[in-house]
Amino acid sequence: MKKGLTLLTLLLSATVAFSSCGKKEEEQSKVENKAPKPLTELAQENKGPHGQMPPGHPPMEGLPEGHPPINNMPPGHPGHSSNNLEKELAAMHPGKNMTKIDKPIKIPEEVIKTWKYATIEVVDKTTGKVVKKEKVTKDSDVKFQDLEIKVLYIVPHLVYDQQYTSGSNEPNNPAVIVEVKSNGKVIYAGPIYQKFPTMYNIKHPKYELKLVAISKS
Digits of tens for pLDDT over the chain (217 positions)? 555 555 555 555 555 555 555 555 555 555 445 444 444 444 444 444 444 554 544 444 444 444 455 454 544 444 444 455 555 555 555 445 688 888 899 999 999 999 999 999 999 999 999 999 999 999 999 999 999 999 999 999 999 878 999 999 999 999 999 999 999 999 999 999 999 988 889 999 999 999 999 999 9
Distances (CA, A) of 178 to 61, 136, 173, 209, 210: 34, 12, 16, 10, 11
Domain coordinates of the chain in residue numbers? 83-215
**Tell me, what's the pLDDT at 144?**
97
pTM of the model: 0.59
Query: Which residue pairs, CB below 8 angstroms and at least 24 apart, start in 183-188?
Result: 183/146, 184/148, 186/99, 186/100, 187/99, 188/98, 188/99
* Burial zone of 178 (CB within 10 Å; 0-12 exposed, 13-18 middle, 19+ buried): buried
- Label residue 120 exposed, middle or buried (CB < 10 Å: 0-12, 13-18, 19+): buried
